[in-house]
Amino acid sequence: MDRIVFERNVPARDVIVSSLADSVLAPFWLDTAPPPAFPRLENDISADLLIVGGGYTGLWSAVRAKERNPEMSVVLIEMNRIGWAASGRNGGFCEASLTHGRENGLARWPEEFDELERLGHKNLDEIEETIARYNMDVEFERTGTLSVATEPHQIAWVSGEPESLTEAEVRQQINSPTYLAGSWEKTGTALIHPAKLVSELARVATELGVLIFEQTPADTFRRDLRVVTPRATVTAKKIILATNAYPSLLKRNALMTVPVYDYVLTTEPLSAKQMKSIGWSARQGVSDLSNQFHYYRLTADNRILFGGYDAVYYFGGRVSADYEDRRESFELLASHFFTTFPQLAGAKFTHRWAGPIDSSSRFCAFFGTARKNRIAYALGFTGLGVGATRFAADVMLDRLDGIETERTRPKMVSSRPTPFPPEPLASVGINLVRWSMNRADHNRGKRNLFLRTLDAMGMGFDS
């Protein structure tokens, strides 16, 4: 097995330890720009539409429901604080892709991929238009994504593409000794401030007449669409379930996703000298081409957010705050950061955090209805929810209205992924996939028989 660049060029141990010494365990976005607070639900209430979940999926559903029908009464309940889970912890990559990238989309839905690409770019355009129309302060930058080859076998994966860059060209964009080639797709990704998007979606929703309640978990879900919370009951005509990585209120979805923990670091703001040493004047988002990939970006005040690679599944699919402070993951990320940017040795990380991703076996969201189309749900965004949740909101509203649209026709929307097996098979299988992906990265990208079999079955595991 070959050693990858992050193993060939390891920074000094004291550089890694020192960089993390003063970091706080908190998402940078939520720590520096927390969303506004909303009251608990204290009294029984009725609504035309009840939304369970206060992340992007729920908030976009609330906004789109009122834009489509201003007379509709909409109530949203959140068990904790709005945006406290994945919507406030992600990297802020708002992508056009609805299929977790071109390769995954072409492999699964080749006959409709062009239409899915069109719908995805239309969705991103509409997000940008919505932000402008409501004057939403979300630090929106449509910079695109720079995909970088960090191993020799990856060069062929980007060469020949219209947006391909040689080693010299990619290092002119961002100066990292790990870059061997790259590809810059300039229109399919925007960067946003995740917590500010939560706040602004909540602002717009409430201005449109949506009632939002926090600290209001859905304890009991009755067949007559009454949802019992700790202090009150909501009686709804229709319901949208937007629960992400947390247990679904529908038993049919119990094995459809697994929670995978993703770990992230954010540096202190870089000085002018540090910025000059790395370039990055175009401010693109960045992702490398390994199976276990990193993603990184600049914030508005020139911090570097650096995450990914070490995706971790915990036995039983449990979600717990105890999993968020995993020292070995943060030290591994810090090591890879300074391999990527050795000229930044001495820089400090101010924030470290983690959170669960609702991973599906097909790497992208799936949709469905229940109770005679009075309940709609969208799950399994697999780390691609910042943009795709708006598309999902419209799909669910179309389904609840009983109408066929360009969004509901594709097989990608009408089909469901293969479920994950129950424990202990889930844990064994997922960890075997992780081992196999790591082995492929160390073997010039060659996938073993186990991964090729899963590919043929339409199953996978990704962060």
* C-alpha–C-alpha distance, residues 343 and 340, integer Å: 9
CATH architecture of structural domain 1-32+145-185+258-355: 2-Layer Sandwich (3.30)
pLDDT at 453: 82
Contact 259, 245 (CB under 8 A): yes
* C-alpha–C-alpha distance, residues 258 and 360, integer Å: 7
What are the structure tokens assigned to 129, written together?
């238009």
DSSP summary character for residue 20: H
Q: Indicate if 34-142+190-257+360-420 has the same CATH topology as 1-32+145-185+258-355.
A: no
What are the structure tokens assigned to 25, written together?
């365990």
DSSP summary character for residue 74: E
Please count the other Cβ atoms lying within 10 Å of the Cβ belonging to residue 369: 15
Query: What sign has the CA pseudo-torsion 288, 291, 292, 295?
Result: positive
- The percent helix, strand, coil of the chain (3-state, each to 5) is 35, 20, 40
* pLDDT, tens digit only, all 463 positions of the chain: 789 999 999 999 999 999 999 999 999 999 999 999 999 999 999 999 999 999 999 999 999 999 999 999 999 999 999 999 999 999 999 999 999 999 999 999 999 999 999 999 999 999 999 999 999 999 999 999 999 999 999 999 999 888 999 999 999 999 999 999 999 999 999 999 999 999 999 999 999 999 999 999 999 888 899 999 999 999 999 999 999 988 888 999 999 999 999 999 999 999 999 999 999 999 999 999 999 999 999 999 999 999 999 899 999 999 999 999 999 999 999 999 999 999 999 999 999 999 999 999 999 999 999 999 999 999 999 999 999 999 999 999 999 999 999 999 999 999 999 999 999 999 998 989 889 989 989 999 888 988 888 877 776 655 4
- The alpha helices in 69-148, defined as continuous H runs, are 86-89, 102-108, 113-133
What are the structure tokens assigned to 39, written together?
């009251």
pLDDT at 463: 46
Contact 427, 313 (CB under 8 A): yes
Give the H or E element holding residue 392.
helix 385-401
* C-alpha–C-alpha distance, residues 303 and 349, integer Å: 9
- Please give the angle made by the CA atoms of 217, 220 and 222, to the nearest 5 degrees: 135
Closest CA to 64 of 378, 426, 338: 378
| Domain residue extents for the chain | 1-32+145-185+258-355, 34-142+190-257+360-420, 425-457
pLDDT at 461: 56
Strands 74-77 and 220-221: unpaired
* C-alpha–C-alpha distance, residues 354 and 27, integer Å: 8
The topology under which CATH files domain 34-142+190-257+360-420 is FAD/NAD(P)-binding domain (3.50.50)
* C-alpha–C-alpha distance, residues 111 and 106, integer Å: 8
pLDDT at 460: 62
* C-alpha–C-alpha distance, residues 86 and 89, integer Å: 5
